A and B are shown apart, each in its own frame.
Chain A
């Protein structure tokens, strides 16, 4: 780096290099600090409410160290991760897709219905289910996208309204698509999907360590989540499309002058975000083999928090999803052990998100201030 650097800039070089190092530490400090802060805050809440925080914490840690818990954490983290990526795609384009919730539920019921209605060889059957899920998710998000780009409807309003509409449609579809046979025997839900449509599980992976107690399985959708993460990373950082998306999100006016049409980018980002959102429900479909009213909810909203926590970075989102899964698992154990009310976990989640948002903002402001100071110092140097 020394060959082209000009002598007068060399002190500033060292400055900037040091600042970059500091920047890296600081951006890690924010989420880490937020987590520690939330532990402390939760401990205080526990003390006030008359529980022993150390007992609660040791229960949580003890539980998390079991292989079975770790498997179920991975199972929980899988859809959360996909949901986080879906939200992150929107964020990269400065779009707030709050409708992942409605998109994955719509996608799930359609995918389960189509999957239950056809008989195909295994790879095709699975591919069809995934394709239907992505298409429906993309279409549902695309509606909000079109309203945004062509009618100026704010995407937050558009997606949140579509969430409500999705729930209504699903309630109606569940009855229409009720599986045949005696409802007392088959239960409420769509036609079960043949085995050819179910992704094989990965239970052999943890069982290489030891056999799992109970009938626990590791979801095969984990592979899908990993593929989604890699695809997200590659698309964003290695393709012209990803460059355009980031440019458009970073400075829409500059991107437009650089030939990136802002409307089309917004629409595409919305479609993609919805397409990925469509995959959020897949692990549930694969676990249950159908869509039924007990289908797990809230994954979409949690995904937004996780994307925020992970700063839209594929690895960061993974950490966030695992943390959320850990908190979920902890919530279960606290309920059984009685060491603390399980609501403490919701408090922790809230505190983490709030402090992380504040932390990132504080870090950003410090960095901008430092840059300004450095620029002024250089100017003064230059004018001497």
Chain B
């Protein structure tokens, strides 16, 4: 076998974060190669580099033995690489054929599209790879799995010999996954090389010929699926060296701050994203929620914050039933919120820091007096946040986008902490920030915990979860599948709960 793709020493930095750090990847021709890793491990960045959407800061790429560097996806396409994105890029009102040829139309003289040739070519491609779909169907009438097939045909139509699939199974139901895998095997039989990203471990073991695991931007290992179990893979993904949990004194009190009972939240398709979840967070306690992303953590957080409707169940904060309360009421009752994406939900990037420091707390002192916004109060509080939480900035009038990611995060943490919340909901509070800022954020949370704050911590960083939490719960497919003690947990156990490799009954815990 010859090597289809070889990546050597690929490094990619973004402001405040290193996405890829000396990544090595070798894909043989005609194999199905899986790239696994937690969210934020650098898989997507690596694929974007390979597909010419971003340039690496360091490292080399060879395709078919020749060194290449792509300035744009079209150069990658010319080199025979095609990518199917997780979110499809199809025009719903056009037919399958029209979508497939879009941008690569065979032309006749007089600026007309040669539909006959296009159709013939499409049939050739379909026959060669065993992909069947009616070229005259409107894309809007197709099922998700069929749309995905159109995307794959589109890429093959352009002559791709190497196919990149970005989490292809994420949007599919199990039967469609079987169908996809059947297609992938046929593609492989026809000589196509497939590189696919996934974090569902059973699937990876079922289909892949080789598996490369990424963790925190680095390649951890490339393994043969015959030699490993899902447990082994989970361990590789989450890391085997966990820090000794902080032997800090427990500050957990008897007083329940957050009480969630039988909470069910529906997603856009009316399927339960959170399925009858019950959990309690006491004052002075940090409850960590572990789970591979997309298992309902976001919906849980949003339901507690009030930005996602609750279908069933109750949420109680310090004895006050807030199930139907407005976001405003919840925030005023003392819920602090560190969103998972600081740019999306945490900051108004174009606004100055002192305005950002008020967000979520604008209805009370020091940010307002009655109906009036208190500029002086806001500025003073912002200065306090700046010095107490070490936000590095020349002054508080700069727009939030001028700060580095770590400093933006410290501003958000400072904003939420300085309001002395009863309950802090922290979603990935240290994602994408440097080590120094990370330690500072952890210290801030620990201090507030000692002062009686209850914390619900959602994180993909297991060091963080184990180091900070008093209790860890694991979310899988919308349900809490385990309640674990961070003092005794092993990464292997945690990994197998997170990936659904083992589903255990809740072993202990205060929710019954």
Contact = CB atoms under 8 A, between A and B. Distances in A.
B146 interface: no
Nearest to A14: B394
Interface stretch (B232-240, B255-263, B324-332): B324-332
A259 B328 contact: yes
A259 B394 contact: no
B392 A257 contact: no
Interface string A347-384: 00000000000000000000010011011101100110
A240 B372 contact: yes
Classify chain A: how many residues form its interface, as a range. Answer: 35 or more
B506 interface: no
Interface stretch (B264-272, B282-290, B395-403, B442-450): B395-403
Interface string B364-391: 0001100111010000000100110010
Classify chain B: how many residues form its interface, as a range. Answer: 35 or more
B16 interface: yes
B390 to A, nearest CB: 8
Chain B binding site: helix, strand, loop or mixed by DSSP?
Answer: loop
A379 B404 contact: yes
Contact of B375 (A238, A244, A251, A383): A238
B345 A254 contact: yes
B305 interface: yes
B394 A1 contact: yes
Contact of A5 (B328, B362, B394, B398): B394
Contacts of B346: 254, 257
B337 A382 contact: no
A240 B372 CA distance: 6
A242 interface: yes
B404 A20 contact: no
B394 A17 contact: yes
A4 B387 contact: yes
A6 interface: yes
A9 B397 CA distance: 16
A379 B13 contact: yes
Contacts of A313: none
A13 interface: yes
B151 interface: no
A6 B436 CA distance: 15
B404 A378 contact: yes
A240 B398 contact: no
A254 B359 contact: yes
A237 to B, nearest CB: 8
B250 interface: no
A241 interface: yes
Contact of B348 (A17, A237, A240, A247): A247
Interface string A251-270: 10111111111000000000
A16 B394 contact: yes
A375 B363 contact: no
Contacts of A8: 392
Contacts, number: 123
A230 interface: no
B308 to A, nearest CB: 11
A257 B394 contact: no
Contact of A9 (B360, B394, B434): B394
A5 to B, nearest CB: 7
A364 to B, nearest CB: 9
Interface string B304-319: 0101000000000000
A239 interface: yes
Contact of B337 (A9, A242, A257, A374): A257
A301 interface: no
B331 A258 contact: yes
A379 B362 CA distance: 32
B327 A240 contact: no
Contacts of B13: 379, 383
Interface centre among B350, B351, B359, B368 (most CB of A within 10 A): B359
A375 B15 contact: yes
Contacts of A243: 355, 358, 362, 368, 373
A256 B327 contact: yes
Nearest to A258: B360
Shortest 8 CB-CB contacts between residues of A and residues of B: A258-B360, A13-B394, A259-B328, A250-B348, A375-B15, A258-B359, A259-B331, A259-B327
25 contacts: A1-B395, A16-B402, A17-B395, A238-B372, A240-B363, A247-B355, A250-B349, A251-B349, A253-B344, A254-B346, A254-B359, A257-B305, A257-B337, A257-B360, A258-B327, A258-B331, A259-B331, A260-B327, A260-B328, A371-B402, A372-B15, A375-B15, A376-B15, A379-B13, A379-B16
Interface of B: 13, 15-16, 305, 307, 326-332, 337, 339, 344-351, 355, 358-363, 367-368, 371-373, 375, 383, 386-387, 390, 392-395, 397-398, 401-402, 404, 434
Given A1-B394, A254-B347, A374-B402, 12 more contacts: A1-B395, A13-B394, A240-B368, A251-B348, A257-B337, A259-B331, A261-B327, A368-B401, A372-B15, A375-B16, A376-B15, A378-B15
